Amino acid sequence: KKTLKDMDFKGKKVLVRVDFNVPLKDREVTDTTRIEAALPTIEYLIKEGAKLLLISHLGRPGGEAKDELRMDPVAKKLANLLNKEVKKVDDCIGEDVEKAVADLKDGDVLVLENSRFYPGEKKNDPEFAKQLASLADIYVNDAFGAAHRAHATTVGVTEYLPSAAGFLMQRELNALGEVMENPASPFVAIMGGAKVSDKIDVIKNLITKVDSLIVGGGIANTFLLAKGYELGDSLVEADKVDLAKELMAEAEAKGVKIVLPIDVVIADDFSNEANTKVVQADQVPAGWQILDCGGPESLEQYKAIIKDAKTVIWNGPLGVFEMEKFAHGTIELAKALAESDAHSVIGGGDSAAAINKAGVADQMSHISTGGGASLMFFEGKELPGVAALDDVE
Ligand code: 3PG
C-alpha cells in the first residue's frame, strides 16, 4: 500500500480518516489513546504543509445529528495535544464546509462533523463519498480501528481520490501482520469475551496457527457445556455447543491445546453486589453463574503457559471485568503477560482497557487501537478499509 512517504502534500487539501471514536463523559473525552495514536500522521502532514480535513465517526448516532455526539470535545482535545489551533465545522459536506476549507492555510487543521450523522456513511453511499472527496486532493486513512467497516469514509472516498495509509495504519498492519505471519513459537492465543458467535471465525483461523488457545470469558461456558459440565445458571449458547465440540476436535487433530478454566468465580446474581465463591468449573450449582474464569488454579495454569510462550495474542476479557468483583482473572492475566518475555499483541477494546487498568501498558509489545478491526485481522481476512487503498505502482 502507498504510505505518506510516497506522496507530496505541500499545499494539498488532505482528507484524513481517523478513528476518533473515543469514550465521552459529560461531553468531555475521557480517554485520549486513539487521538494520541493519530498524532504522528497529523503532525507529519502539518509539517509537510498540507491543509488537513480530519473526519471520524463518533458513537452510533444512527444516521442523524445528535448534539451529544458532535466532534467539538474531540477537536478541543486535539488542539490541546497538538498545542495548536484546531478549527471545527458542524457538518461534513456542503457550503459551510467548503467555505471553511477555502480559508485553510498550509498546515491548518479542520475537524469535520461526525460522519455517522449521515446515513450515507454506513451505507457507503457513492453520492456522499463523492461530495466528501470533492473537498480534498488526497485521502489518507489512519483509522485502523474502523478499517473493518466498508463505509463511505473508509472505502467509498477511495474511488474518487488518490489514497495512502497513515503511520498508525501502517504500524498496526505491521505489528498484527508480523504475529500472524511469523510468530515465534510457542504461540499462544487468549480468547475471551461474551459470545462464541463473535469468535467462531477467529478461533477457526487461530487453530491453524497457534500451539495453545486459552478460552475464557462467556465463550468458555459453551465449551465447558460441550464437555458435559454442569454450569448452573451460567450464560451459555446452547445452539453453539456442537460447534464448540467440532472446534475442539479440529484443534485436537491439529495438536493444538484448547485450554479451558479449571476453577471459576461464580455469583448468585449478575451484579457487583452478588455473593461469590470459587468452585471447580464442573461444579456450578443451580442458581449460580460463572462470571470470571480466573479461579486460582485456572490462573496458575494460564501463567505457566504464558511463561513458556514466545508470542501471545489476546482478545477479550476472561470475565465480566467491568464489575470489580469479576475483574480479578482478567487483571491477573494482564499482569502475567507483563511479567513474561513473550512478544505480546493486544487486540483493542476491552483487552486494551484491562491492560490499562492493570497499569502494564508499557510492558506490551503492541496494543491495537482497533477492537473489531484487530479481531477481523486475526480471522485472517483482509480489512475493507485497507483493501481499498492505492497500491504502490
Ligand atoms: C471501534 O470502536 O471499534 C471502532 O471505532 C468501530 O466502531 P463501530 O463498532 O461503531 O463501527
Average pLDDT over residues 234-256: 96
The domain tally of the chain equals: 2
Residue 385 lies in a domain: no
On whether both 17 and 139 belong to a single domain, the answer is yes
Distance (angstroms) between ligand 1 centre and the Cα of 6 equals 28
Active-site annotation holder among 12, 13, 17, 34? 34
Distances (CA, A) of 58 to 27, 114, 121, 182, 363: 12, 6, 12, 34, 29
Among protein residues, the one with the nearest Cα to ligand 1's atom 2 is 21
> Which of 134, 168, 202 corresponds to the end of one domain?
168
Q: Are 333 and 302 in contact (CB under 8 A)?
A: yes
**What are the phi and psi torsion angles at 88 (to 5°)?**
-140, 135
pLDDT-based confidence at 349, cuts 50/70/90? Answer: confident
On whether both 48 and 90 belong to a single domain, the answer is yes
On whether both 307 and 362 belong to a single domain, the answer is yes
| pLDDT score for 294 | 95
On whether both 188 and 86 belong to a single domain, the answer is no
Check the CA dihedral 325-327-331-332 and report its sign.
positive
Q: Are 348 and 145 in contact (CB under 8 A)?
A: yes
CATH number at residue 12: 3.40.50.1260
pLDDT-based confidence at 107, cuts 50/70/90? Answer: very high
Whole-number Å distance between alpha carbons of 49 and 215: 49
Residue 114 lies in a domain: yes
> Which of 168, 190, 210 corresponds to the end of one domain?
168
pTM for this entry: 0.94
- Picking from 284, 237, 244, the residue whose alpha carbon sits closest to that of residue 263 is 284
pLDDT digits (tens, 9 = 90+) for 12-37: 999 999 999 999 999 999 999 999 99
Per the rule left: phi > 0, alpha: psi between -120 and 50, beta: everything else, 349 is: left
Residue 371 appears among annotated catalytic residues: no
Residue type for 161, please?
A: L
On whether both 151 and 208 belong to a single domain, the answer is no
On whether both 363 and 301 belong to a single domain, the answer is yes
Average pLDDT over residues 355-381: 95
Distance (angstroms) between ligand 1 centre and the Cα of 257 equals 32
Quick one: which H or E segment has residue 335?
helix 328-339
Distance (angstroms) between ligand 1 centre and the Cα of 146 equals 6
On whether both 121 and 56 belong to a single domain, the answer is yes
Q: Are 141 and 385 in contact (CB under 8 A)?
A: yes
pLDDT digits (tens, 9 = 90+) for 170-226: 999 999 999 999 999 999 999 999 888 889 999 999 999 999 999 999 999 999 999
Residue 391 lies in a domain: no
Environment class of residue 217 by beta-carbon count within 10 Å: exposed (0-12), middle (13-18) or buried (19+)? buried
Note if the bond before 61 is cis, omega within 30 degrees: no
CB count within 10 Å of CB 241 equals 17
Whole-number Å distance between alpha carbons of 145 and 19: 6
Residue 361 lies in a domain: yes
Altogether, the residues listed in the chain come to a count of 393
On whether both 193 and 252 belong to a single domain, the answer is yes
On whether both 125 and 61 belong to a single domain, the answer is yes
Instruction: State the residue range of the domain holding 57.
Output: 4-168
On whether both 53 and 70 belong to a single domain, the answer is yes
> Which of 135, 168, 201 corresponds to the end of one domain?
168
Record the cell numbers describing residue 36, joined without a space.
494520541
Residue 392 lies in a domain: no
On whether both 109 and 185 belong to a single domain, the answer is no
Please report where in the chains the cell 495453545 appears, as a residue.
212
* Ligand 1 atom at shortest distance from the alpha carbon of 149: 11
On whether both 53 and 192 belong to a single domain, the answer is no
